[in-house]
Structure 1
Amino acid sequence: MKPIARQSILTTLSSYLGVVIGYFNVLWLLPYALEPEQIGIFRTIQDMALLFVPFAQLGVGNGITRFYPKVKSSQFSFFTLSLLLSLFGFLVVAVLFFFFKDTLISAFATNSPEVIDFFGVVLFITLFSVLNTILDAFCRSFLKVAVPAFFREVILRLLVAILIAFYLLRWVSFDIFMWGLALTYFIALLGMIIYMIRVDLFKLNFRFSDFPVGFLKEFINYNLITLLGTTGAILIMKIDSLMVSSLIGLDANAIYTIAFSIAVVIEMPRRAISQVIMPVVAEHFEKNELSEINKLYKQVAVHQLLICLLLFLGIWSSIDSLYHFVPNNQVYEVGKWVVLWIGLGKLSDVLFSINGEIIVFSKYYVFNITATLIMCVAVIILNLVLIPLMDIEGAALASFLAMFLFNFVKYIYVKNRLNFDPFSMDILKIIFLGIITFTIQYYLFQNRELGISDIILRSLVVILVYLGGIFLLNIAKESRESIIKKIKRTGS
């Protein structure tokens, strides 16, 4: 577990450094430099491109992680095959994009016609992102996730900050600014290629005859099936933004973007843990070590809920003060309740642990089709019903309900098929501790003046009460004892 822990820590550090930069970009730089309508275009183009990525990738990212243990001796032929498949997938998506271009235009023509001018940017971002996910997945198979995370979470956000600064200084027009967004993704991809070349992980080998008999067919079939599961998760993340732009307008999407960006930080530890845990789960399934997977299932549930709930409490307790610092906050603070619903949705992801990863790498991966179909129907219907009724809050509530339903269906399936269960008494203790912690800070700081001192005081109380509660309620006892032992060894 030491390599896992080390890579998780480094990846988490990159994630939170990226969060700091991202918060600066989204909560201050974007609202300061761009009009709400321009922010809406910026977010809509990004989300559309990233929604296309799993389709273009053809599920190859998960396939690399699952099948790498079987083809270690032909790893660079496997790498080359994966790149070629993803390029083919992108070509298919590009053809379909042009074929259905008129349909896309009609979807945005009424409320967000400006988006139509930047459809070319969508395709370039999709291409560079698809290739980057393949490189990322290959690095992950070697448990090298820290540097890819640094490029994904830090470098890309820094490049976006520089791009926004160029527009703010009037060095580029808004049209060039939007095309520059595609350039930032290309630079991040180039950085990944240079890194992989330096650590001898980027080599092309076209000797596909080295693969075992029947491997190619099995690999492609698996990719196409898991493609649906991957698109399901992305659809929940991105469809709400696109539907807000389409059904309400770009200004509303700008408000939604700010709120979503505040809430998304809650899931950062889960994403970091998932990146590292996926190859481990795949390896355990390969060796039929089911008890080890169930153990991981429970451990991850407790540890990521501990961290992510603390983040949620810190954000929601200081939500008014956070909006206080956003330029033109009178425009954007109406999205406060979006933060709550998206935050609760992220916590539902955390609560159900690694159920998605377990399904993807088990022999029951075909179930992803069923789970994804349920989710896709649910998220679209919920958005169509709730957005007209509740505006952007309806989109956020739809996302929460869809995420919870998606996770609950997967939990029931894993429980019935593999008899794995992530829940323990520690989970109940953590939820109880979260309620107590929020209640205490709420009554201590009612009607307090907004600002940095409010954020600091609330955060200190939340952290102290939460950490004290962990010891009093004896939560995650084994992990705490292990940390204490390491501290004692370091000090002796």
Structure 2
Amino acid sequence: MSVVARQGVKYSIIGYLGFLLGTFSAIFIFPYDMEFYGKLRYILPTAEIIVPIIVFGLSFSNVKFFAKVNADGKHHNMLSLSLLAVVINFLIVVGGFFLIAYLFPDFKKLEVWKMKNLILPLALVLALSSVFNKFLTNYKRVVVPNIFENFVPKLANLGAFCLFFFMGFAEKSAYGFFFMMFVISFFGYGLYTNRLEKVRFDFDLGYFKKDNLYREILTYSFFGFLGNIGNYIAIKIDSYMIGEFISFEENGIYNNIYSIISLIVVPQMGLFNLSAPIINKVLANGDYNELDRFHKKTSLSLFFLGLVLFCCIAVGFPYLADFMKNGEDLRSSEPIVWVLGFAMLFDLATGFNGHIISLSKYYKFNIVVMLILAVLTITTNLLFLKHTDLGILGIAIAYAISLSLFNIIKIVFNYIKFKVFPLGIEMIYAMILGCISINIAIFLPDFKLNILNLFYKPAVVLILLFIGNYFLKIYPLDKYLNKTFVKSLFKF
């Protein structure tokens, strides 16, 4: 079995375990104190928004130029200078942060200022870690970085929460544990990199001054920075804005619901790694008819499987909330489940729109699209915060609007350039079938025991979906639900 295949299998396993840990915590642990959970979910995303500014795309350059600098034996030189540049950028960002506070005294009233002693150092640790993370991909090693990138944050949240709520530690102590988990992760990156190949720190600038290589690196880093900051702002800004302008408790509720509804994107995990080579090949061959066929097939797969999961969550959520601590707060915010759910379903239905662009000669357009998404997300969030009383429901609607417009832009672009279109009539049939299944399950009588309702209503939805799919032939489940396919899942 090749290194890539082994790493791919392990990467998927770690990804699913991390998701299960996050979902378990969201259902059974974090609802005990939504306010403190909301603070944790404010601190990390806020730090992550600052990270792209500090890194300035240098992490991507360590991948882009690795082959060249490695051939010249200067890859450790580039890594060393990248880490040094991150530290220098951090000092500049800190200086700008305090300058803003000096010029605009009201800035000190914001939560980001009050929590600066934790957020700023955390941003530095995350920035240094991101350089190592990308550097390790050059060695075709993605499993350990995936543990540090996706699993450790969930452990940090869970551990800090348990220390504070269940063990009675002070908030500062819980924050200290939270921060130290990322510090340990950073040193883990360094030790693992050193294990693969002994790191030789070299801060000499001579190699990069020759033939103005540094200009080429900085130019590429700048484009990486633009795309990355747009992505981070679009994804992380919700938690910042809710914590800053509404409350930490509402931020906890929103993120709790988001964690649960994110179950519907599980089918997407790892699928791009399988699809990327195929997309790359057909783009290279210019076979856009095959690209359109493959695009429709993968989009339908993602959408149908996501729809099945969403329908089960939609009918089971009210009963699940009854088993959760402070479930009444979640139950009162149930509309968020529907808003986020439909937005994510549309995202799944559009398939790998962004990946098609990023793997083509038009890859720079992705940067434009990400910046558009960032601006849309901030603008719609501010509109709903300032001009409505919808609270976190308004944030959810803003997220849905910006994400949907983002996907529509990519659909139009791909249709113009490649004549590919992800949506099909089968998706409409699936949506109608899903709506009918949900309504039938909702109107069925409830048992007195909610535990029965929690299982029997989603089970009804599953049965109706499978029966409807059998007659309408929407999705070829028969190709997957057979002995050969099941056995293949366990053949590593």
TM-score tier by shorter-chain length is 0.7 to 0.9
TM-score calculated relative to the size of structure 1: 0.82
Amino acid at match of 2:133: D
Q: Once the 2 structures are TM-superposed, how far is the Cα of residue 311 of structure 1 from its aligned partner? A: 2.6
Q: Aligned with 1:100: secondary structure? A: helix
Q: 1:303 aligns with which of 301, 306, 312?
A: 301
CA distance in 2, matches of 1:418, 1:103: 49
Q: Is the 8 A contact 2:107 2:113 kept in 1?
A: no
1:231-246 residue pairs with structure 2 within 5 A? 231-246=229-244
Q: Which moved more, 1:258-267 or 1:40-49?
A: 258-267
Spell out, residue by residue over 1:303-350, the C-alpha distance to the aligned partner (whole angstroms, 9 max, x if none).
Answer: 333333333222222111222222122334322222222222222332
Partner of 1:106: 106
Would you say how many aligned residue pairs link Structure 1 and Structure 2? 484
Amino acid at match of 1:392: I
Spell out, residue by residue over 1:142-191, the C-alpha distance to the aligned partner (whole angstroms, 9 max, x if none).
Answer: 55333332333334323432232222344531122123221122222333
User: Structure 1 residues 479, 232: CA separation in 2 closer, same or farther (over 3 Å shift)?
Assistant: farther
Q: Which moved more, 1:259-268 or 1:479-488?
A: 479-488
Q: Aligned with 2:334: secondary structure? A: helix
1:41-52 residue pairs with structure 2 within 5 A? 41-52=39-50
User: Structure 1 residues 159, 47: CA separation in 2 closer, same or farther (over 3 Å shift)?
Assistant: closer
Q: Is the 8 A contact 1:308 1:350 kept in 2?
A: yes
Q: Is the 8 A contact 1:255 1:334 kept in 2?
A: no
Q: Aligned with 2:333: secondary structure? A: helix
1:249-260 residue pairs with structure 2 within 5 A? 249-260=247-258
CA distance in 2, matches of 1:365, 1:394: 33
Q: Once the 2 structures are TM-superposed, how far is the Cα of residue 404 of structure 1 from its aligned partner? A: 0.7
Q: 1:154 aligns with which of 131, 151, 171?
A: 151
Amino acid at match of 1:317: V
Q: Is the 8 A contact 2:231 2:374 kept in 1?
A: no
Partner of 1:456: 455
Q: 1:179 aligns with which of 176, 180, 183?
A: 176
Structure 2 unaligned runs (5+)? none
User: Structure 1 residues 341, 489: CA separation in 2 closer, same or farther (over 3 Å shift)?
Assistant: closer
Amino acid at match of 2:333: G
Q: Aligned with 2:24: secondary structure? A: helix
CA distance in 2, matches of 1:19, 1:226: 27
User: Structure 1 residues 139, 421: CA separation in 2 closer, same or farther (over 3 Å shift)?
Assistant: farther
Spell out, residue by residue over 1:392-446, the C-alpha distance to the aligned partner (whole angstroms, 9 max, x if none).
Answer: 1111100100111112112222322343433445545544553344344334x45
Partner of 1:120: 117
Partner of 1:392: 392
Q: 2:264 aligns with which of 258, 263, 266?
A: 266
Q: Aligned with 2:221: secondary structure? A: helix
CA distance in 2, matches of 1:482, 1:240: 39
Partner of 1:335: 333
CA distance in 2, matches of 1:470, 1:298: 18
**What percentage of aligned pairs have identical amino acids?**
24
Q: Which moved more, 1:381-390 or 1:212-221?
A: 212-221
Q: Once the 2 structures are TM-superposed, how far is the Cα of residue 73 of structure 1 from its aligned partner? A: 3.7
Partner of 1:93: 93
Partner of 1:354: 352
Q: 2:53 aligns with which of 52, 55, 58?
A: 55
CA distance in 2, matches of 1:115, 1:379: 19
Partner of 1:129: 126
How large is the RMSD of aligned CA atoms in angstroms? Answer: 4.0
Q: Once the 2 structures are TM-superposed, how far is the Cα of residue 48 of structure 1 from its aligned partner? A: 0.9
Q: Aligned with 1:288: secondary structure? A: helix
Q: Is the 8 A contact 1:139 1:201 kept in 2?
A: no
Q: Once the 2 structures are TM-superposed, how far is the Cα of residue 271 of structure 1 from its aligned partner? A: 4.8
Q: Once the 2 structures are TM-superposed, how far is the Cα of residue 294 of structure 1 from its aligned partner? A: 3.1
Partner of 2:221: 223
Quick check: which has more Rg, 1 or 2? 2
Q: 1:367 aligns with which of 362, 365, 387?
A: 365
CA distance in 2, matches of 1:108, 1:268: 40
Q: Aligned with 2:380: secondary structure? A: helix
Q: Aligned with 1:375: secondary structure? A: helix
CA distance in 1, matches of 2:21, 2:324: 15
Q: Is the 8 A contact 1:310 1:466 kept in 2?
A: yes
Q: Is the 8 A contact 1:225 1:365 kept in 2?
A: no
Q: Is the 8 A contact 1:305 1:350 kept in 2?
A: yes
Amino acid at match of 1:288: A
TM-score calculated relative to the size of structure 2: 0.82
Partner of 2:284: 288
Amino acid at match of 2:158: A
CA distance in 1, matches of 2:198, 2:301: 32
Q: Once the 2 structures are TM-superposed, how far is the Cα of residue 224 of structure 1 from its aligned partner? A: 1.7
Q: Aligned with 1:172: secondary structure? A: coil
Amino acid at match of 2:99: F
Q: Once the 2 structures are TM-superposed, how far is the Cα of residue 108 of structure 1 from its aligned partner? A: 7.5
User: Structure 1 residues 319, 482: CA separation in 2 closer, same or farther (over 3 Å shift)?
Assistant: closer
Q: Is the 8 A contact 1:226 1:366 kept in 2?
A: no
Spell out, residue by residue over 1:342-375, the C-alpha distance to the aligned partner (whole angstroms, 9 max, x if none).
Answer: 2222223322222223333433233245324433
Q: Aligned with 1:358: secondary structure? A: helix
Q: Once the 2 structures are TM-superposed, how far is the Cα of residue 206 of structure 1 from its aligned partner? A: 6.3
Structure 1 unaligned runs (5+)? none
